[in-house]
Amino acid sequence: MLGFLVGISYPSVALTRVIFSSIDLTYTDDKYSGMRTQALLNHAWSTANIRNNDNSTQVNNSSDTSKIYVPTNPRGAERLPPGIVVSESDFYPRKLWGEPSEDLPMKQKYLVTFTVGYDQKSNIDAAVKKFSENFTIMLFHYDGRTTEWDEFEWSKRAIHVSAKKQTKWWYAKRYLHPDIVSPYEYIFIWDEDLGVEHFNAEKYIKLVKKHGLEISQPGLEPNKGLTWQMTKRRGDREVHKETEEKPGWCSDPHLPPCAAFVEIMAPVFSRDAWRCVWHMIQNDLVHGWGLDFALRKCVEPAHEKIGVVDSQWIVHQVVPSLGSQGKAENGKAPWEGVRDRCRKEWEMFKTRLADAEKKYYAERGTTPPNSTAG
């Protein structure tokens, strides 16, 4: 069992900036009886002097050869010599004895995560067996049941993280930071309801490399659990990167959902692509709806580097297990509340991405291209 302690820090607010930019000094005498304008000004100048002194200290440290100050170090580590700084980590378990250099007979090259409930143990057992010893196995437990999984021998080697009633994107944002998963060439972030009879992970990786895919997914069995034509398995090829959809669905043949598109049930990311995607995941939008339409922001050209692997395919079993983790409210079943939240999050994500792009181009005085999230 792997435990984490999460700490949160909040940036301090520069009082001088608040006072000079937002306080009407002619108003403060009435508003703050007993606190005169001059007192506010004195406090502002005092705070400014403190901040200036802090900045001077940093400058002095950088020029004082008797003290270590390395501005190119990671933030917060400037006072450390670069040779001792370790800015990345991993999920490789270590021994409590012996030589550290002897801890790891091998280092896994890839990572696969499943967000699971114990009721799907048989399905996950079958899925894990499709991944070789080159993979670190990580289970995110949304039902809080972890020790029961040790009936499977592979579970004793897996990394287990438990937080009740959370989604895989909640877990991914908090436990799959790019600096933690950097040892892995590819990261699989999969649902629990996937049939893998026709899938082999090592063969899949070879095809991804062969076709230059930075973001991908296995093809889906055409007759079950299919939403988009793009993710439908083609039986006559190894990989496809574009498709035709219903009339009017695709404004551009190189844009989602006709190209540069995979779904969020079984995505596979290269190390570099994940570093970008992780930063796009929103802390409060836990279902990930809309993320599939925006993945193209992280690779270029997206219609060449995002695709579906047809010759290694899966079946989406459409088990609404996470829906049962919701709460019945206002006469709605738990799954209905979850689905409503998903739709709301999709709209919120689209709005945030569009607004962020507009702001970026407006600040630079340029005209934005006609493209945002789907």
Q: What is the pLDDT of residue 233?
A: 95
Q: Are 342 and 289 in contact (CB under 8 A)?
A: yes
Q: What is the pLDDT of residues 68-91, one digit of tens each?
A: 999 999 999 999 999 999 999 999
Q: What is the pLDDT of residues 219-247, one digit of tens each?
A: 998 776 678 999 999 999 999 999 998 88
Query: What does the alpha-carbon distance between residue 9 and residue 134 come to, in Å, rounded to a whole number?
Result: 37
Percent of the chain past pLDDT 90, that is, above it, reads 70
Residue 310 scores a pLDDT above 70:
yes
Mean pLDDT, range 109-128, rounded to an integer: 96
3-state SS string over the chain? CCCCCCCCCCCCCCHHHHHHHHCCHHHHHHHCCCCCHHHHHHHHHHHHHHHHHHHHHHHHHHHCCCCCCCCCCCCCCCCCCHHHCCCCCCCCCCCCCCCHHHCCCCCCCEEEEEEECHHHHHHHHHHHCCCCCCEEEEEEECCCCCHHHHHCHHHHCCEEEECCCCCHHHHHHHHCCCCCCCCCCEEEEECCCEECCCCCHHHHHHHHHHCCCCEEEEEECCCCCCCCHHHECCCCCCEECECCCCCCCCCCCCCCCCECCCCCCCCEEEHHHHHHHHHHCCCCCCCCCCHHHHHHHHCCCHHHHEEEEEEEEEEECCCCCHHHHCCCECCECHHHHHHHHHHHHHHHHHHHHHHHHHHHHHHCCCCCCCCCCC
Query: What does the alpha-carbon distance between residue 332 and residue 193 come to, in Å, rounded to a whole number?
Result: 24
Mean pLDDT, range 336-350, rounded to an integer: 93
Mean pLDDT, range 4-32, rounded to an integer: 37
Query: What does the alpha-carbon distance between residue 80 and residue 71 come to, in Å, rounded to a whole number?
Result: 10
- Range with lowest mean pLDDT among 193-197, 199-203, 292-296, 370-374: 370-374
Residue 38 scores a pLDDT above 50:
no
Which of the two residues, 37 and 315, has the higher pLDDT score? Answer: 315
Q: Which of the given ranges, 27-36, 207-216, 242-251, 337-346, has the highest pLDDT on average?
A: 207-216
Percent of the chain past pLDDT 70, that is, above it, reads 79
Residue 316 scores a pLDDT above 70:
yes
Q: What is the pLDDT of residue 368?
A: 82
Residue 27 scores a pLDDT above 70:
no
pTM for this entry = 0.80
Query: What does the alpha-carbon distance between residue 314 and residue 302 come to, in Å, rounded to a whole number?
Result: 23
The residues that bridge with 316 in the sheet, in sequence order, are 194
Which of the two residues, 103 and 51, has the higher pLDDT score? Answer: 103
Segments of the chain assigned to CATH 3.90.550.10: 110-318
Q: What is the pLDDT of residue 318?
A: 82
Q: What is the pLDDT of residue 32?
A: 37
Backbone torsions φ then ψ of 358, nearest 5 degrees: -60, -45
Q: Which fold has domain 110-318?
A: Spore Coat Polysaccharide Biosynthesis Protein SpsA; Chain A (3.90.550)
Residue 370 scores a pLDDT above 90:
no
